Amino acid sequence: MASIWELHQQLINKERSAVEIAQESLERINKLEPKLKSFLCLTADQALEQARRVDAKIAAGEEIGLLAGIPVAVKDNMCTRGVPTTCASKILENFVPPYESTVTQKLRDADAVIVGKTNLDQFAMGSSTETSAFQVTSNPWDIERVPGGSSGGSAAAVASGECSVALGSDTGGSIRQPASLCGVVGLKPTYGLVSRYGLVAYASSLDQIGPFGRTVEDAAILLQAIAGYDPKDSTSLNVPIPSYINSLRPNFRPKGQIRIGVIKETFEDGLDPEVKDAVTKAMELLQDLGAEIQVISCPRFRYGLATYYVIATSEASANLARFDGVKYGIRDRDAETLLDMYGTTRAKGFGEEVKRRIMLGTYALSAGYYDAYYLKAQKVRTLIKEDFERAFAQVDILTCPTSPTTAFKIGEKTNDPLSMYLSDLMTIPVNLAGLPALSLPCGFDSKGLPIGLQFIGNVLKESQLLEVGRVYQESTPWHTRTPQIN
């Protein structure tokens, strides 16, 4: 599927209609879904209706925006009015939201064509999309491998050309890690830049919605559409939104003015040598392009994973208390008492990983343990933030691999939660500090699997990340390769 910019040109030059573009997307989805399984639900009728509205605007000579008529997929943890929103969990199998999330409303206002809702790890808990209660999504580069997670459906859909761009959510890496494993661009915005209204909460102090695209420009266009203050989200930032698209100046070169810090600790044990090699080459190239490269130490980075699994599970245990068979989703009708009904509904509705996290979080928050675990984790979170602050006093952008490995085999890590948790070693500290970060392709390993490079920015420095990402992208061929899946 062509880029947003190309599709937009085709539309305004009347070479193709929005209906034709929507049909191309829907046909590709129908063809690939038996293998890929990236979608949980398709909204073909609504998509075609939306496309017809765009065509009518064009016919009437109205000006259309960049996202008008563009096929977009949405992770199935964002509420869409009248369209099922399951979080890939049995407990929400029958849930049809009576309201629209802010981000999807913004997509509709921009005349984007939403083609469907994508698969995810149940309640966004996982790194492979395998904890979905409904299906396992494949990586388009090798269908025996995982697409990463939790936004694996969105990443696979974009990588395979089922749609042009997609929305994901990122609590500890769920946009960047699947972007890396599927060879696409993914951006996790600054905490509060994009409204979380209508995003089913996993860990509210960490969750952020962000874009996937085949190119940095496409990710920037989608970010532009969803960023901005929302009074319906109390953590939404009320700040002016720059033009991310204009900041992608064609001749921009980071000569001397951009200082990039390579995070030393991410190059230690556990890093796949081929990933290390590709990222090292990327650093060399950036240096040739004029960036100043320094090695930076973030010594507390290594506590990120432990801190995250206390904070995220604690917040999850509170957030997921609302699924009790009363207000949303399924209800166990065989239970005899109210209390039994709560328990058996949750026992039947939640998957294993979700239960594991609710138990962990409930334990960490319980009287007597709160100070030892939750409070301590919050303190370490502050220390991690300080590491970043110190680093940003010396450099403009930080960089490291997005994921320590390329895509692993389906089933390879399902019985070993700890090894699965390690997938997010390099992405989690970013969420703990609320910072923006971009992942983009930086090569392929000897198995032909994509490798991702991560750029981490200071608060609200999305434009800078996109600029540097775009310069790197223009000097490399990685984004032009597409998986051979048909």
Could you give the residue numbers annotated as active site? 75, 150, 174
CB of 305 to ligand GLN, least distance (A): 10
Tell which phi-psi region holds residue 256, choosing left (phi > 0), alpha (psi between -120 and 50) or beta.
left
Give how far Cα 276 sits from Cα of 130, 268, 307, 461, 483, Å: 26, 10, 25, 26, 22
CB of 205 to ligand GLN, least distance (A): 13
CB of 207 to ligand GLN, least distance (A): 7
Q: Cα angle at 74 between 71 and 78, to 5 degrees? A: 150
CB of 20 to ligand GLN, least distance (A): 35
CB-wise, 315 or 462, nearer to ligand GLN? 315
CB-wise, 364 or 485, nearer to ligand GLN? 364
User: Does 150 sit behind a cis peptide bond, omega within 30 degrees of 0 on the bond before it?
Assistant: yes
| Closest by Cα among 195, 220, 222, 219 to 209 | 195
Which amino acid type is present at position 205?
S
Give how far Cα 87 sits from Cα of 132, 235, 269, 288, Å: 8, 22, 34, 44
Residue 141, token pair as written in the block: 């580069």
Residue with the CB atom nearest ligand GLN in the bound state: 174
CB-wise, 361 or 457, nearer to ligand GLN? 361
CB of 218 to ligand GLN, least distance (A): 21
CB-wise, 171 or 473, nearer to ligand GLN? 171
Provide the angle, in degrees to the nearest 10, between the axes of the packed helices 18-36 and 152-159.
120
In 52-90, which positions are buried (b, 16+ CB within 10 angstroms) versus exposed (e)? eebbebbeeeeebbbbbbbbbbbbbbbbbeebbbbbbbb
Binding site for ligand GLN (CB under 6 A): 124-127, 150, 170-174, 202, 312, 424
The answer to whether residues 50 and 290 touch, using CB atoms and an 8 Å cutoff, is: no
Place of tokens 């951006």: 187
CB-wise, 193 or 312, nearer to ligand GLN? 312
